Structure formats: C-alpha cells, structure tokens
C-alpha cells in the first residue's frame, strides 16, 4: 500500500481530516496532531500546505500524521488482530499431521509461510524515481517537523532505520528518532539495547563505516513492524509477509548495499562514521518528558531518493494518550502467544498507555502454587523487551477485564498486601529518567492473585483528612482520596517540596490509622481531578528501590521530581508542554477545537 492508496483508504472510511491552510512545520502542525490523537473520534491528518515560517519556504510535499488514529484504523491497516494472534498461536503449537485432513491443514499453514521472506528486486523502486546526489542533497527540502519548543531541532519521527550486521547475515529495521543537524547529516538515536547499536559496535571494532538507509512512508505496516518486539536476529519484515500474505518487496539503495521497501516515499541513504559522535537532543519523547542531550552516532547522507509526488509521514510524541496507544494494542494482542511460550500460565496482559507501556504491566494468570506470580515476575524481567518493565501487577483468572481500569484497580486494592510486594532491580529503558543510574534501577512486582485483604482502618472525608495532614506539615497543599470503598484506599498528597519527601512521611505517619497507600507528588503541574495523568506521573517518577517506604503497615510512595534536595545527581528533565501562544493562536483560528477542561485534563 503506497501513500496515495493509504490516503484514499483513510478518506473512504471517514478516518481522514484534510487541512488546506498553510501551517508551520515548527510547532503548529505537531500541536494540531498532538491534540487530535487525544480526542475520542481521533482522525488521521493530511496537511496539504506545510511551510517553514522562519525561512519562508513552502513545501510541495504534504504531511500525513496520526495514521494509526483509532482501533478502527489499526484493524483497517494491519488486519484482524485476533486472527493474526490465533495464527501465530497455531503455528507455535504445530504438530506433525496424523490423518488426511490434518495433512491438508498442515500443508496450508506451511504454504502460507512462503510469504515470510522479503523478495529482493533487481530493478529500481518507485522510491527511487527521483535521485539526489552530492550537491543536490538537502534534508531541508523535506518538511521535517519540530514538535516541541525545547527540542534540539527538527526530528524525523517515523523513520524506518534499515541496518545489517557486519557479516551481512542479519538485517534489521527499527523505529528510532532522527535529528536533522544540517542539510547533509542526521543524528541516529539507537539505544544501547537495540540491534542497530549492536551492529554499530561490530563496524566500530572493524574500523569500517556502517551503511544505513532510512525509509519514510509507504505501507503503515512497515512502521508497525519496525517497532515490533521480535527476538534478536529476526528481520522485522518477516512479520510483514506473515500478516500481508505477500512478500515484502525490497530494492537496493543507490549508494550503499542496504535493501529498503520499493514503495516508500523517501529514502535517506548514507554511512555512519563509527569514530564520530555528536550531541543529540533534547527531545520531547513518548514518556511525556524531554530526554536529555546525549552523544549518538551521525549519519553522513550520500543520497536522498523519493517518489515523484511523495508524502511525508510523521507521528507526534509527548504525554499520553498518543498514537502508540493504538499501535501498542495491536502489538500486545499479536505477541501474546509468543510471550506465553515463556510464561505458559499467563492468560492475558495489558500495558496501559498512561504507563507509557514499559512503566506498567497488568498480567492475568492461573497461579498453581505459592509465589507462582513472583516466579513470573522474574521471568518477565529477564525476557526481551519485557525486561524493561518497571512495575508489574498480577491477578488471577477471576479478575475483571484488564482494560477496565476502575474495576481492575478496585480488584487489586482489595487484594493488596505489603507482604506480597517484590522489590527488585534490573535493566530499564534508556529513556527512563527516574533511576539514580542510567538504564538500571528498581522494579516493583505486586501479587494480587491472593484472597481479599481484611484491613481495619478509619475513614475521613477529604476535607477533614486534609486539615489533619496540613496541620502536621505546611508544605502539604492539597490532597485527594481514591477508591475509598476498597481495603486499601489511595491517598494522593501534593506538596510544595522544600525537603525530602521522607520528612513529610515521618510527620504524617501519626495519622496512619486513616492511611493505607500514600502517594506524594509535586504541587506544580499535577491536577488531582485527573487520575489518568496522576498514574502517568507516578510510574514515570519512581524508582521502587528508592522511593517506596513502609511504616506502620502503610505504603508511602515518593513520586515527586527528584532534585539536589534528594541528592539526585542526574539531570531531571522537564515535562513536555505545548507552546501556550501557539496553542492559543490555533484555537482562535478554529484549527483546534477544545475546551479549557481538555487542556487541563491532558496537561497540554
């Protein structure tokens, strides 16, 4: 599916909004997309007249955003998610056929596998209808967006980064952000755990330049496959063939030996000098925080090729919900059978988007013996991308639907017991900002597969409890209780932080008869009326090995921003926020139609 067919398909299914007003690639276009994806009736957006107000440049290339705009769009662009998952499950359980009918079914399954391997074409692709070399190379001819005011520059956000191992045996495509430094160089943000980074070190050791080609556009399934959590060494486009039931068609890049899909819109080719690094960032990322400046490899561009009438595709990242909410849904459903090979007693799992996926997972399983769920925690923390999960909560088969947030939260709070917590440590996502050390820190597992807890405590209304708390510590500015009908209510306290949170905990602990789980957050940038964003903040901000305290059978969680007050030595990043002037202007022009409540609800 090329970009023209994609636009037509989205339009036919009432999933596309076309905006013909000239709009700036600096903040304006991304801000509109950022708001759109948070709406209940979110649509893909086609900006037909992107401009660069700073340079006065007008682009002929339209910008297409928010492609995976809804669950409907995911089913339209990827397919029947449950059928794909069932087919994977069936293949994993494949046994030699015993009878004639079994042989027919077996043959059909094997026949479908012929589509797995990508097909290399001998001809040029439509992605190479226009070829720009040498002095004709200019990355600024592409309408690459700058999403946030604090970004280090314009970033490509849906670039399919194609690489291969030094010996050529393993190919890979990953979805990494790419900073435009100038007209001919790109920063490549592949993190330390990624296949491309492993290849990079192979080339570096051999003292050879590393070929890299970046594809933009084409079938949206290319992008989804690029972020799929496949085992190391498995080329992600095998998954494309499995889902589409047709081989991915690849062509050789013009100036290096990397193969890319023949029908993408743009290809940026080049080589990475493995001895050269450059500061990349900051960048407002999908965690909802800015990721900090760090040195990353640099791609020296040797060619830009594209279709005659290309479309530039992009996504926007920041605070949830985002487009990855819908992409993540497809990933979790399709890869459930693969995860069950490691955890066979797991029934289901859910990674809430406001837990930014790697910060929180809910797991439903059939526990068969004491500490079975704790065994599962260790299994998760040692397997592939699941090893990056910070907080895991386990329930049994009788629990409500994992995606029913209120019901599953009540269920867990009725079964929560301090003795069934497991605090460990291990590898973290490189984007995690809360740990004392880069990419390693605390993890929390909670076993809620047990019987209901019989806690005894006294209850107070919010006003009375706040008066008691604030009388003990005048830095407490607000407070709200949640799930007070459960065995373990949650009390969230906002403080004007002037000392370490533990000192506040010591002051208020005399009120422990009214408390079971206490979460402490900063007064600034947190609204107690919107628990969705409170959860986002908490799971982002805590390191379980440092920020969880237990006193007098009360669990205290310090989810404040860490500073010099806490002797935190790393730089704590700022929140991703819309430029207020641009947001106001877009609203006044009718390009964004939202209420002030909407702005507060999603902490825009």
Q: Residues 130, 62: one domain?
A: yes
Q: Residues 68, 183: one domain?
A: yes
Burial status of residue 292 (CB atoms within 10 A of its CB: 0-12, 13-18, 19 or more): middle
- The domain in which residue 334 lies consists of 324-447
Quick one: angle between helices 28-36 and 580-588, nearest 10? 70
Q: Residues 130, 218: one domain?
A: yes
- For residue 131, what are the β-bridge partners? 305
Q: Residues 153, 116: one domain?
A: yes
In terms of DSSP bridges, do strands 294-306 and 130-133 run parallel, antiparallel, or are they unpaired?
antiparallel
Residue 453 domain-assigned? no
Return the ∠ at Cα 323 (arms to 322 and 324), rounded to 5°.
90
530, 470, 537: which is closest to 504 by C-alpha?
470
Q: Residues 197, 296: one domain?
A: yes
Q: What is the pLDDT of residue 341?
A: 82
Residue 22 domain-assigned? yes
Q: What is the pLDDT of residues 232-268, one digit of tens each?
A: 888 999 999 999 999 999 999 999 999 999 999 999 9
Average pLDDT, the chain: 92
Residue 98 domain-assigned? no
How many domains does the chain contain in total?
Answer: 3
Band of pLDDT at residue 98, cut at 50, 70 and 90: low
- Whether 291 and 575 have beta carbons less than 8 Å apart is answered as no
Q: Residues 410, 281: one domain?
A: no
Q: What is the pTM of this model?
A: 0.93
In terms of DSSP bridges, do strands 210-216 and 249-252 run parallel, antiparallel, or are they unpaired?
unpaired
Q: What is the pLDDT of residues 379-421, one digit of tens each?
A: 878 777 788 899 999 999 999 999 999 999 999 999 999 999 9
- Tokens 């390191």 sit on residue: 543
Q: Residues 210, 272: one domain?
A: yes
- Tokens 């007209």 sit on residue: 183
Rounded to an integer, what distance in angstroms lies between the CA atom of residue 528 and that of residue 449? 29
Rounded to an integer, what distance in angstroms lies between the CA atom of residue 395 and that of residue 391? 14
Rounded to an integer, what distance in angstroms lies between the CA atom of residue 193 and that of residue 175? 13
Helix (H) or strand (E) holding 203: helix 195-206
User: Which CATH number do you get for residue 536?
Assistant: 3.40.1670.10
Q: What is the pLDDT of residue 400?
A: 96
Q: What is the pLDDT of residues 333-349, one digit of tens each?
A: 988 888 888 788 889 99
Q: What is the pLDDT of residue 104?
A: 43
Task: Answer left, alpha or beta for residue 388, where phi above 0 means left and psi between -120 and 50 means alpha.
Answer: alpha
Q: Residues 128, 55: one domain?
A: yes
Residue 319 domain-assigned? no
Q: Residues 236, 150: one domain?
A: yes
The three-state DSSP-derived secondary structure of 206-260 is HCCCEEEEEEECCCHHHHHHHCCCCCCCCCCHHHHHHHHCCCCEEEECCCCCCEE
Q: What is the pLDDT of residue 162?
A: 97
Residue 427 φ/ψ, nearest 5 degrees: -70, 140
Which of residues 393, 416, 447 is at a domain's end? 447
Residue 264 domain-assigned? yes
Write out the two tokens for 473: 């510590």
Helix (H) or strand (E) holding 125: none
Burial 559-583 (b: 16+ CB within 10 A, else e): bbbbeeebebeeebbebbbbbeebb
Q: Residues 508, 382: one domain?
A: no
Q: What is the pLDDT of residues 190-227, one digit of tens each?
A: 887 788 889 999 999 999 999 999 999 999 999 999 99
Residue 455 domain-assigned? no
Q: What is the pLDDT of residues 16-45, one digit of tens each?
A: 999 999 999 999 999 999 999 999 999 999
Q: What is the pLDDT of residue 94?
A: 47
Residue 541 domain-assigned? yes
Strands (E), 253-326: 259-261, 266-280, 283-284, 290-291, 294-306, 312-314
Rounded to an integer, what distance in angstroms lies between the CA atom of residue 223 and that of residue 46? 18
Q: Regarding predicted confidence, which is higher, 66 or 108?
A: 66
Residues 94-113: what's their mean pLDDT? 51
Q: Residues 348, 424: one domain?
A: yes
Residues 60-71: what's their mean pLDDT? 97
Cα end-to-end distance, the chain, whole Å: 34
Residue 100 domain-assigned? no
Band of pLDDT at residue 358, cut at 50, 70 and 90: confident
362 Cβ partners below 8 Å, 6+ apart? 349, 350, 351, 352, 392, 393, 395, 402, 408
Instruction: Give Cα 449 distance to the centre of its chain.
Output: 28
Rounded to an integer, what distance in angstroms lies between the CA atom of residue 327 and that of residue 68? 7
- Whether 521 and 559 have beta carbons less than 8 Å apart is answered as yes
């Amino acid at each position: 599916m090329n970009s023209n067919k994609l636009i037509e398909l989205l339009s036919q299914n009432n999933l596309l909004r076309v905006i013909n007003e000239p709009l700036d690639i600096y903040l304006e276009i991304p801000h509109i997309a950022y708001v759109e994806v948070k709406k209940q009736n979110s649509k893909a957006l086609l900006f037909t007249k992107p401009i660069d107000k700073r340079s006065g440049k007008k682009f002929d290339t339209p910008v297409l955003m928010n492609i995976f705009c809804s669950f409907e769009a995911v089913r339209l662009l990827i397919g029947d998610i449950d059928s794909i998952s069932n087919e994977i499950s069936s293949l994993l359980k494949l046994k030699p056929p015993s009878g004639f009918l079994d042989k027919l079914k077996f043959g059909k399954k094997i026949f479908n596998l012929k589509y797995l391997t990508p097909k290399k074409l001998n001809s040029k692709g439509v992605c190479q209808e226009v070829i720009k070399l040498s002095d004709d190379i200019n990355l600024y001819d592409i309408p690459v967006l700058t999403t946030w005011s604090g970004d280090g520059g314009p970033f490509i956000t849906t670039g399919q980064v194609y690489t291969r191992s030094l010996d050529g045996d393993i190919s890979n495509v990953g979805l990494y952000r790419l900073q435009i430094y100038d007209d001919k160089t790109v920063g490549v943000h592949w993190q330390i755990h990624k296949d491309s980074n492993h290849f990079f070190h192979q080339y570096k050791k051999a003292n050879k330049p590393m070929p890299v080609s970046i594809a933009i556009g084409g079938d949206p399934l290319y992008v989804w496959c690029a972020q799929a959590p496949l085992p190391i060494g498995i080329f992600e486009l095998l998954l494309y063939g499995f889902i589409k039931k047709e081989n991915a068609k690849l062509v050789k890049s013009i100036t290096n030996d990397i193969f890319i899909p023949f029908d993408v819109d743009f290809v940026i080719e080049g080589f990475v000098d493995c001895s050269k690094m450059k500061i990349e960032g900051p960048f407002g990322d999908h965690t909802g925080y800015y990721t900090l400046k760090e040195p990353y490899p640099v791609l020296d561009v040797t060619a830009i090729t594209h279709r005659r009438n290309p479309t530039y595709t992009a996504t926007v990242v920041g605070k949830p919900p985002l487009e990855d909410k819908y992409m993540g849904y497809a990933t979790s459903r399709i890869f459930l059978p693969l995860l069950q090979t490691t955890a066979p007693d797991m029934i289901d799992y859910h990674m809430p988007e406001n837990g930014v996926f790697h910060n929180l997972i809910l797991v439903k399983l059939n526990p068969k013996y004491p500490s079975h769920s704790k065994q599962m925690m260790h299994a998760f923390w040692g397997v592939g991308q699941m090893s990056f999960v910070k907080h895991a909560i386990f329930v049994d088969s009788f629990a409500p639907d994992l995606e029913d947030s209120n019901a599953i939260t009540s269920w867990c709070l009725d079964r929560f017991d301090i003795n069934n917590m497991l605090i460990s440590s291990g590898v973290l996502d490189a984007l995690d900002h809360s740990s004392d050390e880069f990419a390693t820190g605390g993890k929390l597992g909670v076993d809620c597969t047990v019987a209901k807890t019989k806690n005894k405590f006294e209850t107070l209304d919010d006003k009375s409890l706040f008066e008691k708390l604030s009388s003990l510590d005048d830095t407490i500015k607000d407070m709200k209780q949640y799930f007070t009908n459960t065995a373990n209510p949650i009390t969230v306290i906002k403080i004007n932080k002037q000392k370490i949170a533990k000192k506040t905990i010591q002051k208020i602990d005399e009120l422990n008869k009214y408390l079971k789980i206490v979460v402490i957050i900063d007064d600034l940038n947190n609204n107690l009326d919107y628990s969705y964003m409170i959860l986002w903040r908490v799971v982002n901000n805590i390191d379980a090995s440092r920020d969880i305290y237990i006193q007098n059978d009360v669990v205290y969680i310090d989810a404040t921003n860490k500073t010099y007050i806490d002797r935190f030595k790393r730089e704590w990043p700022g929140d991703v926020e819309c430029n207020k002037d641009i947001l106001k202007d877009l609203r006044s022009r009718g390009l964004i139609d939202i209420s002030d409540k909407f702005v507060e609800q999603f902490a825009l």
